[in-house]
Amino acid sequence: MPQDPTPCRPAAPIGAPGRSFGVDVGGTTVKGLRLGADGTVRGEHRVRTPAPDPDGRRVAAAVLQVATALGHSPGEPLGVALPGVVDERAGRAVRSANLGWADVPFTGLLPPGTTLCHDVRAGAVAEARSGAARRAEGVVAFVPVGTGIAAAVLLDGIALVAGGFAGEIGQLVLTDGPFRGLRTEEVASAARRAGCEGARDAAAAPGAALLAADARTAAVAS
């Protein structure tokens, strides 16, 4: 039986022996890097993100396509960053408006031993380890510009998670106007803006899985 993807946590030092691979699933492209043992970039590859992809299988196939193009072999370190609300320990994509995900299990879709991360939290941790937030103390906010709408919050270099909802600006519910009741990302993300007039219809039938995500949001807030 395939193992669950490993939750995101600090990796070995960049200078550790062997090469490593990272793949970021964005709302527009799936992009990957191969790092050498010295931490330098030795290869890059990207493909267009297959979206919408309600069951995650096409996205998982794209991740494997990118990893294979970079020369990844079974057993080598592979980190995969996912957008939206991510339950890293359970290996599930709880919600992503851009990809049409609602409680999608990634267990079994990725190679055993894969490190599964939330994309923006992974970026924040990277900045804390070797970028602009290196050696920064206290609270650090990481707000990238991408297809989706999200942020990450670090406290003394440690990412806040709050059940996967910490920093998820795109999950704020609009309380007024023509899109009242929808989340920010369902209306204002790059993918949604392309078809903004139909955004309400696209998000109007949440289903049981989305209601479960709503319940989790309420539990975190309370």
Q: How far apart are CA 201 and CA 140, in angstroms?
A: 37
Residue 213 clears pLDDT 50, i.e. is over it: no
Q: Rounded to 5 degrees, what angle do the CA atoms 11, 145, 100 make?
A: 85
Window from 59-68, 80-89, 138-147 with minimum mean pLDDT? 138-147
CATH node for 6-121 = 3.30.420.40
Q: What is the pLDDT of residue 23?
A: 96
Q: How far apart are CA 26 and CA 62, in angstroms?
A: 11
Residue 83 clears pLDDT 80, i.e. is over it: yes
Query: Which of 64, 67, 59, 61 is CA-nearest to residue 83?
Result: 59
Q: What is the pLDDT of residue 196?
A: 45
Residue 59 clears pLDDT 90, i.e. is over it: yes
pLDDT tens figures, 120-134:
888 888 888 888 888
Q: What pTM did the predictor assign?
A: 0.69
Going from N- to C-terminal start, the domains of the chain cover 6-121, 135-221
Spell out a b/e string for 120-152, using b for 16 or more CB atoms within 10 Å of the CB, else e.
Answer: bbbbbbbbbeeeebeeeeeebebeeebbbbbbb
Residue 33 clears pLDDT 90, i.e. is over it: yes
| CB neighbour class for 222 (10 Å; exposed up to 12, middle 13-18, buried from 19) | exposed
Q: How far apart are CA 164 and CA 93, in angstroms?
A: 10
> Average of pLDDT values for 22-32?
92
